[in-house]
Amino acid sequence: MREAMFYQQEGEGGRVRCGLCRFRCLIGNGERGICSVRENREGVLYSLNYGRLCAEHVDPIEKKPLFHVMPGSRSYSVSSMGCNFRCRHCQNYSISQVERNAPIRGESATPREVVQRALDNDCGSISYTYTEPTIFFEFAYETARLARQAGLKNIFVTNGYISREALEEIAPFLDAANIDLKGFSEEFYRDFVHARLSEVLESIIEYHRLGIWIELTTLIIPGLNDSDAELREIAGFIANRLGPDTPWHVSQFYPTYRLTDRPRTPVATLRKAREIGLAAGLRYVYEGNVPGEGGENTSCPSCENLLIKRYGYIIESDRIRDGLCPDCGAAIAGVGL
């Protein structure tokens, strides 16, 4: 447990206003915020999950998914319990969805220990992932500072609901992020996520403004966010507000948690989404959760020759040299290519 960052006392009765994410919860004494891991104790807000890791793995960086950040490298991936979203289709609900007053589970670790484990496992980065990194911000922030000193990169895999002030604080140490853009309607975000699309879009633009490399992921759910119109809106937002070099991952949904009445996403729908993205001017659009379909490869946007061939999280060949296409010399956008 650690005193939280980004809060202030407000009014009488010991209430505090949390400023970590865009919900900006007003929390009464003895109560927790929406994330269920930040608790007000007599006017002091505490992070209950500080240094309590519920998941810790060495992953290929492609699993985040990040296809344009140090391809083929390994990322030391850590997580703590809790989330500020309530997605009905959450794949990690057993660690993300915490009951309001439930105890916070996890193995104790310090930021220095995490950095050393990353180095010992020959990782090039640390990823704050599996649940929402914003809600274990204090631990991620302290770890990221030490990781930068050790020559490691830092990655958020996030829902994009961090407050502007918190993002600005960690931005100097954050190299890349994969941000979920779960749909493109306020209704979808309200009914299936319990959040606001407008706040996510503002956050994504803020990541871009701060110079953090971003890749976006949209889980395509049949009948909910898979219409041609909605996919065109997402692709247009990426192309116009972030630029055509921003990768977009369109991934296959499978029934889970509280959304089991929808089938797996047809591969044809993913192909359609990819075609829509490319037609909107995006240079890098990838199909996710369908290994071997061909939509995972990176081609040169100039000469169209194959540069990186993938099968799932495995890179079978990588022809990019010093960030350039070896055939035509075109620059390939990314970090550490």
> Same structural domain for residues 187 and 336?
no
186-195: pLDDT as tens digits: 999 999 999 9
> Same structural domain for residues 236 and 330?
no
Longest CA–CA separation in the chain, Å: 67
Contact 331, 324 (CB under 8 A): yes
- Return d(Cα 64, Cα 157) in angstroms, integer: 7
Tell me: pLDDT of 12 over 90.
Answer: no
Q: How does DSSP assign 244-290, residue by residue?
A: TTS-EEEEE---BTTB-SSPPPPHHHHHHHHHHHHHTT-S-EEEES-
Residue 11: pLDDT band (50, 70, 90) is confident
Q: Position of tokens 């915020």?
A: 33
Closest CA to 165 of 326, 324, 327, 8: 8
Give the pLDDT mean for 51-75: 98
284-334: pLDDT as tens digits: 999 999 999 889 999 999 999 999 999 999 999 999 999 999 999 999 999
Tell me: pLDDT of 51 over 90.
Answer: yes
> Same structural domain for residues 159 and 36?
no
pLDDT value at residue 100: 80
Mean pLDDT over each residue of the chain, to the nearest integer: 97
Q: Flag whether 115 is in a domain.
A: yes
- Return d(Cα 307, Cα 326) in angstroms, integer: 9
> Same structural domain for residues 34 and 83?
no
> Same structural domain for residues 157 and 71?
yes
Stated pTM of the model: 0.97
Tell me: pLDDT of 220 over 90.
Answer: yes
> Same structural domain for residues 245 and 121?
yes
Tell me: pLDDT of 104 over 90.
Answer: yes
Q: Flag whether 292 is in a domain.
A: no
DSSP state of 4: P
226-277: pLDDT as tens digits: 999 999 999 999 999 999 999 999 999 999 999 999 999 999 999 999 999 9
pLDDT value at residue 294: 87
Domain hosting 121: range is: 52-287
> Same structural domain for residues 203 and 92?
yes
